[in-house]
A and B are shown apart, each in its own frame.
Chain A
Amino acid sequence: MPKPSITVSTADRVFYAGNNAFLVLTLLVVLYPLIYVLSSSFSSTDAVISGRVWLWPVDPSLRGYEAVFTHQGILRGYYNSFFYMVVGTTVNVTMTILAGYPLSRRDFKARNAIMMFFVFTLIFQGGLIPTYILIRNLGMVNTRAVMIIPVALSVWNVIITRTFFQSTLAPELLEAARIDGCSDFQFVYYVVLHLSGAIIAVNALFYGVVTHWNGFFQGFIYLNEKRLYPLQLVLREILILNEIEQSMLTNVDLEALEARQGLVELLKYSLIVVASVPVLIMYPFVQRYFVKGVMIGAIKG
């Protein structure tokens, strides 16, 4: 009979080594493309087009960033996206709490009916063309409003938020507040908002980054005036359609054709980095919250 031991058995030692190797491999596979982009963005034009960048920047230079920050279209897109993100996320978070709190109250009689009204939209939608006709009839095509109002609320976020309220707001809290003469409005304002830092962070991250900053569809369908373009539409022109208005590149010497195309390739890498900055800034702060958020959402409410 094998002697039970507290030391790690050979089989386990092999397993842990293999397991860690697998995780290290995963880490490298995920990380390499990101490092490659970052390093390329800090390299020289020549190093990028001749494929000499492998891991670290080659002939370090800031030419790519210089080109990004002097490109009028990119700057305008950055400004527009920032506007859509700040205003849009404020609207989103407000709307989500407005819906999430009443739906978390078990004594709210219309709760199930409203929930069904919401959830049905997850399994059946009118689709692109009828939505487009509606938005055109509302006169929202080519306005800033189209980037905010038609995406004011996501039912998934309402479900997550409602579940969060159900599991964190003890019924006794409401009772105590009521005894003190607190109305529902006051309760939401003075109690609920102060206890929902985590869920506001999760909502702000999903709406802010996923819907607004990274969102492409809304602008693509409803905007055709370049002055309103969010960053993602500008990115598409440069990264995917390879269209870059030469006049937009000011203060840059564009003598040789080869140098110009090389600079465009370099600019693409710098642009990817610059476009991801807001996400990179937010990421460490909300990281611990979004895992929680997904877990809350995973529990059926």
Chain B
Amino acid sequence: MQALFSTAVSDRRAAVQDSRQHAAYRALRSWQRDLTVNYQLYLLVLLPVAYIFVFMYIPMYGTQIAFRDFLAIKGIWGSEWVGFKYFAKFFDSPYFVRVVRNTLEISLYTLAAGFPFPILLALALNSALGRRFKKSVQMVSYAPYFISTVVMVGMLIQFLSPRIGFVNDIIAALGFERVLFLSEPALFSSVYVWSGVWQLTGWNSIIYLAALSTVDPELHEAAIVDGANRLRRIAHVDIPSILPTIVVLLIIQCGQIMTVGFEKVYLMQRPLNLSRSEIIATYVYKVGLVSSFPDYSYGAAIGLFNALINLVLILAVNRLAKTITGQSLW
């Protein structure tokens, strides 16, 4: 009996193991088959994969210098492990509060001011009369997106110049004092955000226009029969149908709340406005690459701190998207 029982158990064990082995074997075989049948697809994708590995994954691996006293001559592995030294240094530094605060201020301001305009423009374009008129507004409003950041900031400097800028000429003509827009720390975020609204509203409206173009015309016809005027149709047909798009985009933007691009801020910085314009990205650049003693490890630690916050934010936000809208970002 005992023997019989143990054989049964071992039999079952063997069967389980067998089926596991079998599954693994089958998986192996199907991969082998894919490699034989689709080997050309593997060859096609080889170069892009190699590129991503070298230029994206090796730097990820390199972030460990944030935990070491990196010295170029010793290399990543040879440099001494110092744990959280550089993170502690950042948290204790007076710049910590300043750069995080400025980053948050600029990104929240961008979100609050920049988010509604593309929706408004898309709704207006969608209900505009006259196809050619609509097309020309679209074409013109997309154009500023293709202006380079350097030119954009160059234009701001010209337009806002207290000496020759037309904005200040208008302010002076109205009897007010000329404003030093670009050196006044308190005005930095406003200049940054509103010039961004000018540059990006048209471009960002495309995605809403695309969503609006999928609205079933029958909904509008039904609403007309019910006596709804255009404004009410916007409120009860157009807006509800682009609401999912709005929610998804809003959520994506919330995931990027600790990300402000380097270029435009850096180009708009000058010594007088640094108290309100130094953000995480520009600070990393300055401590890591340009100071008289470039501190790679310190710069990498600040960068890693920011990247980890972004990762957590995007994962959290994706979770949220799943619960609210039933769809995730990936």
CA distance A131 to B129 in the complex (A): 51
Size range of the chain A interface in the assembly: 35 or more
Interface of A is mostly: helix
A176 close to chain B: CB less than 8 A: no
Contact yes or no, B143 A236, CB < 8 A: no
A30 close to chain B: CB less than 8 A: yes
Report which of A102, A128, A287 forms a contact with B303, defined as CB distance below 8 A. A128
Q: Interface segment, A61-69, A113-121, A163-171? A: A113-121
- How many positions in chain B have a CB within 8 Å of any CB in the partner chain? 94
Q: Interface segment, A82-90, A182-190, A193-201, A245-253? A: A182-190
B residues in contact with A300, CB < 8 Å: 327
A254 close to chain B: CB less than 8 A: no
Q: Mark A72-110, 1 if CB is under 8 A from B, else 0.
A: 000000000000000000000001101101110101111
**B47, B133, B148, B157, most chain A CB atoms within 10 A:** B148
Contact yes or no, B44 A98, CB < 8 A: yes
A285 close to chain B: CB less than 8 A: no
A residues in contact with B158, CB < 8 Å: 37, 239, 265, 268-269
A residues in contact with B151, CB < 8 Å: 235, 239, 272, 275-276
B164 close to chain A: CB less than 8 A: yes
A9 close to chain B: CB less than 8 A: yes
CA distance A126 to B143 in the complex (A): 33
B231 close to chain A: CB less than 8 A: yes
B residues in contact with A33, CB < 8 Å: 155, 159, 198
10 pairs of A and B residues whose beta carbons are closest in the complex: A126-B59, A239-B154, A130-B62, A127-B303, A214-B148, A99-B48, A184-B40, A109-B34, A130-B59, A102-B41
A259 close to chain B: CB less than 8 A: no
A240 close to chain B: CB less than 8 A: yes
Contact yes or no, A26 B38, CB < 8 A: no
Contact yes or no, A283 B65, CB < 8 A: no
Contact yes or no, B139 A287, CB < 8 A: yes
Q: Mark B40-53, 1 if CB is under 8 A from A, else 0.
A: 11111101110110
Q: Mark B172-211, 1 if CB is under 8 A from A, else 0.
A: 0000000000000000000000000010011000110011
